[in-house]
Amino acid sequence: MKSENFDVIIVGAGISGLYMLYRMRALGLSSQVIEAGGGVGGTWYWNRYPGARCDTDTIEYSYSFDEALQQEWEWPERYPTQPEILHYLNHVADRFDLRKDISFNRRVESAAFDEKSGRWQVGTDGGGWLSARFLIMATGSISAPNIPEIDGMESFRGAIHHTARWPHEGLDLIGKRVAVIGTGSSGVQAIPVIAEQATQLTVFQRSPQWSVPAHNRPVDPDFVAEIKADYAGFRARNRLESGAQLSHIPANDFSAAEISEEERQRVLEERWQLGGFPFFGAFNDITVSHESNKATADFVRDKIHAIVDDSLVAEMLTPDYTIHCKRPVLDSGYFESYNRPNVSLVDLKTTPIQAITPAGIRTSEADYDVDIIVLATGFDNMTGALLRIDIRGRGGLLLREKWAEGPVNYLGLQVSGFPNLFTITGPGSPSVLTNMMVAIEQHVEWVTDCINFMVSNDHAIIEAAEDAQVEWVAHVNEVANATLWVSCHNWYQGDNIPGKPRVFMPLPGFPPYVEKCEEVVANGYEGFVLS
Ligand code: N01
């Protein structure tokens, strides 16, 4: 039987976990990935809802660590579909022979630091214990589904499916009456596809979205050839020059305040035609300037009203908060769906859901009979996947207690009192405000260098210092508070989860963050205690 004692345990076989395993192996460390799912892929293994697709261009939503890998892989379209990304991640697992060190269908339920041995004891749902010197939480920022508690849910005669737990065998929606609750990225992607299949689709909207067209299209082979001629250069520019944004097309270098109304409209229309995240870069200050933000929002408001035939429905679909404050959403025919005769919209702000009944959904105003309810209700983001595990550090301190008032850590990488435990793209790091691929690679590489340093220098323990952590949390708050991201209800601040402490979790600004991480290392792991 395989030993259950390792140098490194990695939780999760998604994009982070796979790359972490590859790096740990290269250091010659015995490593094991524990994965709850039946295959690799993390978010792309679980999120199989109709229309699921990434909203970052394929050319940059892929690993950059291996030149041959990035040269050989061909993506067919501008944005990859969920099956294509899963295919890619399976290819990576095979190409680097990663599966032999991954334990599938095994969920980590607990992890406790043993102060005597300086090792982590990890408990899984299959029973038994594993132990390791280093514990790396590659559990994903957006992976713990949010299943709302609605009265009567268990009484529903039909089926209820969360978008992130979609049946692997698919779901036949032809001829069905379908309800979708939630209009975030998942709902907005699923709605146009479901609308084409279902007899009747009723969308239950709590907050409207400033969605912009994705403009998906086949990739241009000339463009790809040009990138691949210097892929390393393209990646480097993406990482630091354009700040690991969700598009390689940089923002314009002016504010709305600097140009005339006519020029604003021209620039916004040009960006609208580009589609996707470049739209939000029409001005260089949409996340900090009310003027640029309002000009952009007004433009999208007009677009929504131009697309949606029924002006009352268009009004219901138009947000009243700052644009780009909630995580931006891209769509392919979302607003157009509401012009279909089989699609209707229910505004939960004016008519909240009261219960799920055996026949469907009851709001304060009406009963809606449906066959299938789709919960596109998102996730307990950034902290959920970590806090659903019983993680105990020094003295048995529970991470859940340490984070009772919100997540605290140093660099988004380590929590004081939890030695040798690393979080990949944890709260307090740029993570979800960037192209996740870039943020993940940067974290995996930093952790690899750190572990290599420890092993080479005979250090047993690394742990975030409490004072460095306090300073870091204050820094994250200060940076976030200077932006418009704190001006609305969004999941960056945990607003979507009842009772979750309201703390802005990701850190805006990738290049300064990378600089800080490098400076910490250059100063001998400043802010960490090594022993
Ligand atoms: O989740 P969300 P998601 N009753 O939290 C509503 C990434 N992603 O799965 O806004 C009724 O954004 C909630 O309302 P409100 C991306 O980073 C990327 O869509 O909280 N409604 C909201 O409308 C994204 O941001 C891709 O008021 C309830 C919706 O449900 C993140 O994942 C694709 C409710 C949830 O939206 C999460 O996206 C998919 C309740 N009790 C996801 N609770 C791409 O790459 C919540 N809602 C394209």
- Backbone φ, ψ for residue 65 (5° rounding): -75, -15
Helix (H, G, I), strand (E, B) or coil at 363: strand
CA of 168 to the centre of ligand 1 (A): 21
Q: Are 300 and 210 in contact (CB under 8 A)?
A: yes
Of the candidates 396, 461, 384, the residue with the CA atom closest to the CA atom of residue 112: 396
Pairing of strands 159-162, 31-34: unpaired
Q: Which of 47, 49, 62, 185 to mutate to test the pocket of ligand 1 (most atoms within 8 A of CB)?
A: 185
Look at residue 374 in the predicted model and tell me its pLDDT.
98
Dihedral sign from CA coordinates of 112, 114, 120, 123: negative
Instruction: Kindly report the protein residue whose alpha carbon is nearest to atom 36 of ligand 1.
Output: 184
37's tokens:
């799912």
What does the pLDDT look like over 414-467, one tens digit per residue?
A: 999 999 999 999 999 999 999 999 999 999 999 999 999 999 999 999 999 999
432's tokens:
């979800």
Look at residue 53 in the predicted model and tell me its pLDDT.
96
Supply angle C-alpha 413, 452, 464, rounded to 5: 30
CA of 142 to the centre of ligand 1 (A): 10
Share above pLDDT 90 across residues of the chain, in percent, rounded to a whole number: 95
Rounded mean pLDDT of the chain?
97
What does the pLDDT look like over 311-324, one tens digit per residue?
A: 999 999 999 999 99
Q: Are 377 and 422 in contact (CB under 8 A)?
A: no
Q: Are 136 and 22 in contact (CB under 8 A)?
A: no
Instruction: Kindly report the protein residue whose alpha carbon is nearest to atom 8 of ligand 1.
Output: 185
CA of 523 to the centre of ligand 1 (A): 40
Instruction: Kindly report the protein residue whose alpha carbon is nearest to atom 20 of ligand 1.
Output: 496
DSSP state of 77: B
Show Cβ contacts of residue 488 under 8 Å, excluding neighbours closer than 6 positions. Answer: 321, 322, 325, 326
Strands (E), 348-384: 353-356, 360-363, 367-369, 372-375
Helix (H, G, I), strand (E, B) or coil at 177: strand
Look at residue 250 in the predicted model and tell me its pLDDT.
87
Q: Which of 44, 55, 150, 186 to mutate to test the pocket of ligand 1 (most atoms within 8 A of CB)?
A: 186
Question: Which is the closest atom of ligand 1 to the Cα of 378?
Answer: 1
Reported as half-sphere exposure (CB side, CA atoms, 13 A), residue 303 has a value of 21
Pocket of ligand 1 (CB under 6 A): 53-55, 142, 148, 163, 181-187, 189, 206-207, 327, 348, 376-379, 432, 491, 496
Of the candidates 396, 381, 357, the residue with the CA atom closest to the CA atom of residue 144: 381
Show Cβ contacts of residue 436 under 8 Å, excluding neighbours closer than 6 positions. Answer: 15, 56, 61, 141, 425
CA of 97 to the centre of ligand 1 (A): 35
Q: Are 202 and 346 in contact (CB under 8 A)?
A: yes
Q: Which of 377, 490, 497 to mutate to test the pocket of ligand 1 (most atoms within 8 A of CB)?
A: 377
CA of 138 to the centre of ligand 1 (A): 21
What does the pLDDT look like over 176-197, one tens digit per residue?
A: 999 999 999 999 999 999 999 9
Instruction: Kindly report the protein residue whose alpha carbon is nearest to atom 3 of ligand 1.
Output: 378
What average pLDDT score do residues 140-156 get? Answer: 98
CA of 183 to the centre of ligand 1 (A): 6
64's tokens:
């950059």
CA of 398 to the centre of ligand 1 (A): 28
Question: Which is the closest atom of ligand 1 to the Cα of 187?
Answer: 19
Gap between the Cα atoms of 68 and 72, Å rounded: 6
- Where do we find the tokens 């900090």? 288
Question: Which is the closest atom of ligand 1 to the Cα of 375?
Answer: 30
What average pLDDT score do residues 216-228 get? Answer: 95
Amino acid identity at 192? P
Buried b (16+ CB within 10 A) or exposed e, 27-36: eebebbbbbb
CA of 477 to the centre of ligand 1 (A): 23
Q: How far is CA 524 from CA 174, 211, 472, 517, 518, in A?
A: 61, 45, 17, 11, 10
Of the candidates 262, 357, 280, the residue with the CA atom closest to the CA atom of residue 324: 280
Look at residue 128 in the predicted model and tell me its pLDDT.
79
CA of 184 to the centre of ligand 1 (A): 4
Instruction: Kindly report the protein residue whose alpha carbon is nearest to atom 45 of ligand 1.
Output: 54
CA of 514 to the centre of ligand 1 (A): 28
Question: Which is the closest atom of ligand 1 to the Cα of 432?
Answer: 17
Strands (E), 357-506: 360-363, 367-369, 372-375, 390-392, 421-423, 462-464
Q: How far is CA 437 from CA 95, 240, 386, 430, 506, in A?
A: 19, 14, 20, 12, 15
Kindly indicate the confidence band of residue 1, based on its pLDDT and cuts at 50, 70 and 90.
very low
- Dihedral angle at the C-alpha atoms of 330, 332, 338, 340, nearest 10 degrees? -170
Helix (H, G, I), strand (E, B) or coil at 269: helix
Of the candidates 277, 341, 347, the residue with the CA atom closest to the CA atom of residue 317: 347
CA of 304 to the centre of ligand 1 (A): 20
Supply angle C-alpha 361, 365, 370, rounded to 5: 25
pLDDT of residue 232 exceeding 70, the answer is: yes
Dihedral sign from CA coordinates of 54, 247, 506, 257: negative
Dihedral sign from CA coordinates of 531, 455, 394, 381: positive
Strand partners, 263: none
Of the candidates 520, 468, 442, 325, the residue with the CA atom closest to the CA atom of residue 63: 442
186's tokens:
């998942």
Helix (H, G, I), strand (E, B) or coil at 15: helix
pLDDT of residue 94 exceeding 60, the answer is: yes
Reported as half-sphere exposure (CB side, CA atoms, 13 A), residue 329 has a value of 27
pLDDT of residue 3 exceeding 80, the answer is: no
Look at residue 242 in the predicted model and tell me its pLDDT.
74
Look at residue 243 in the predicted model and tell me its pLDDT.
78
CA of 146 to the centre of ligand 1 (A): 9
Of the candidates 240, 236, 231, the residue with the CA atom closest to the CA atom of residue 430: 240
Q: Which of 193, 496, 505 to mutate to test the pocket of ligand 1 (most atoms within 8 A of CB)?
A: 496
Instruction: Kindly report the protein residue whose alpha carbon is nearest to atom 9 of ligand 1.
Output: 378
Instruction: Kindly report the protein residue whose alpha carbon is nearest to atom 18 of ligand 1.
Output: 185
314's tokens:
């268009």
Kindly indicate the confidence band of residue 109, based on its pLDDT and cuts at 50, 70 and 90.
very high
Show Cβ contacts of residue 169 under 8 Å, excluding neighbours closer than 6 positions. Answer: none
Look at residue 444 in the predicted model and tell me its pLDDT.
98
What average pLDDT score do residues 103-130 get? Answer: 95
Report the Cα 249 to chain-centroid distance in Å: 21
Region of poorest pLDDT, from 106-115, 142-151, 199-208, 243-252: 243-252
Of the candidates 46, 44, 68, the residue with the CA atom closest to the CA atom of residue 56: 44
CA of 415 to the centre of ligand 1 (A): 28
CA of 207 to the centre of ligand 1 (A): 10
